[in-house]
């Protein structure tokens, strides 16, 4: 009599060229209830993705063959599988590089394997919740942002926004779940090359949160991402 295997929390493709680190990550993922498949070369990442059909890809930035940037861009063209970038570079621009190309999160080496597993769980939960959520009609949407009009409303109650606040809200709302750095947001809301500091974004975010809450929404819709910037989740 055959025995069925116990269900897992998900299948993770680990693309990592350091065997010892990959082994440790594999052990922690297995202990947490995930299955995984490991490849060490960038050229093997996409074939493994097609063969394994993972629920999430844990992708190192620096790889032999092809680097993580190219692989992540290809994965984004293929679909919406969650991607967590792993990098040994600590400079701010490199820490943001994965988010620039569409990754869902990133971790920096050296890291705690427990933290990586926790990030895997958080990203998968967010991705599955978004996939399971039925598409809302404009009348049902908790937040409605009408591009090109400057108008936005919370459950039918119109928001009183400045032009800059509207552009900022439109950027965040147009890419729910994606993290933006302050510099990225500045580049999207100011197109006249005026001299402003990245803390200007913090001030606008504070005002947006207040206005969302006053209109019956929630300040928590706009999340602060430590050392990165902001993202919106409804």
Residue 38, strand partner residues: 14
What's the pLDDT score for residue 64? Answer: 93
CA dist 96 and 73 (Å) reads: 15
pLDDT for residue 195? 53
CATH number for the domain formed by residue range(s) 143-232: 1.10.10.10
pTM flag (> 0.85): no
pLDDT, position 213: 93
Q: Tokens in use for 184?
A: 């990225």
Tell me if residue 167 falls in helix, strand or coil.
Answer: helix
Q: Phi then psi for 158, rounded to 5 degrees?
A: -70, 140
Share of the chain residues as helix, strand and coil, in percent rounded to the nearest 5: 45, 20, 35
Q: How far apart are the first and last CA of the chain?
A: 47
What pLDDT digit, counting tens, does each position of 87-146 carry? 877 664 455 555 667 778 888 888 889 989 998 998 898 888 766 655 555 555 789 988
Per-domain residue ranges for the chain?
Answer: 10-132, 143-232
Sequence-distant (6+) residues with CB within 8 A of 222 are 172, 205, 208, 209, 212, 230, 231, 232
pLDDT digits (tens, 9 = 90+) for 65-86: 998 988 988 898 887 789 998 8
Q: Say if residue 168's pLDDT is above 80.
A: yes
197 compared with 63, residue with greater pLDDT? 63
pLDDT class of 3 with cuts at 50, 70, 90: very low
The rounded percent of the chain whose pLDDT value lies above 70 is 84
Q: Which letter, b or e, does each residue of 163-175 get, where b requires 16 or more Cβ atoms within 10 Å of its Cβ?
A: ebbbbbbbbbbee
pLDDT of 193 > 80? The answer is no
Tokens at 138, concatenated: 């404009």
pLDDT value at position 1?
A: 36
CATH code linked to domain 10-132: 3.40.50.2300
Q: What pLDDT, in 10s, does the model give residues 219-234?
A: 999 998 877 788 898 8
More confident residue, 219 or 199: 219
Is residue 2 over pLDDT 70? no
Least confident span in 23-32, 148-157, 164-173, 205-214: 148-157
């Amino acid at each position: 009599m055959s025995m069925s295997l116990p269900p897992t929390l998900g299948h993770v493709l680990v693309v990592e060229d350091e065997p010892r680190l990959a082994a440790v990550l594999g052990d922690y993922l297995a202990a947490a209830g995930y299955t995984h498949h490991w490849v060490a070369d960038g050229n093997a990442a996409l074939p493994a993705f097609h063969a394994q059909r993972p629920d999430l890809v844990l992708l190192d930035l620096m790889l032999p063959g092809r680097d993580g940037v190219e692989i992540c861009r290809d994965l984004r063209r293929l679909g919406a599988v969650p991607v967590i970038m792993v990098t040994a570079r600590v400079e701010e621009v490199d820490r943001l590089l994965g988010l620039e190309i569409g990754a869902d999160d990133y971790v920096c080496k050296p890291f705690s394997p427990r933290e990586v597993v926790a990030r895997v769980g958080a990203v998968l939960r967010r991705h599955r919740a978004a996939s399971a959520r039925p598409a809302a009609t404009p009348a049902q949407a908790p937040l409605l942002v009408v591009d090109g009009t400057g108008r936005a409303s919370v459950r039918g109650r119109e928001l009183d926004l400045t032009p800059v606040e509207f552009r900022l809200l439109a950027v965040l709302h147009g890419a729910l779940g994606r993290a933006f750095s302050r510099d990225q947001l500045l580049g999207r809301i100011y197109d006249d090359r005026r001299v402003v500091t990245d803390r200007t974004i913090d001030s606008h975010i504070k005002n947006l949160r207040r206005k969302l809450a006053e209109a019956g929404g929630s300040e928590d819709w706009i999340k602060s991402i430590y050392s990165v910037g902001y993202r919106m989740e409804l």
